[in-house]
Amino acid sequence: MDLGLLIQLVSGAAGGNAAGAFLKGQTLGVLGNALAGAVGGGLGGQILTALLGAGAIGTGDLNLSAIVAQIAGGGVGGAVLTLIVTYLNRAYGK
């Protein structure tokens, strides 16, 4: 597995749980937040890397700015997707 993707998935799960904590009573639960966040983190990080072209962790090219970019993209993507899934769950699920 690509190191950049792994960082995005982990930071996405953390971002998803942070978004769930922000929502208080309208959460998907810890596991649901983590799963939605990991998916959003992977997607968000990949989109950010494709759009900006920066922050890509290539073979042997491991630097602090690339790691920070992967964490930021994954965390934001995870939080956003968790918020979207929570909203859709609230609107259509119950």
Q: Which residue has the tokens 């997607």?
A: 43
Greater confidence (19 vs 2) lies with: 19
Determine the Cα–Cα distance for residues 44 and 61; give it in Å rounded to an integer: 21
Mean pLDDT, range 70-93, rounded to an integer: 91
Overall domain count for the chain: 1
* Per-residue pLDDT reduced to its tens digit, 34-60: 999 999 999 988 888 788 765 556 545
Q: Cβ distance 46 to 81 under 8 Å?
A: no
What is the domain extent for residue 10?
Answer: 3-93
Please report which confidence band the pLDDT of residue 10 belongs to, taking 50, 70 and 90 as the band edges.
very high
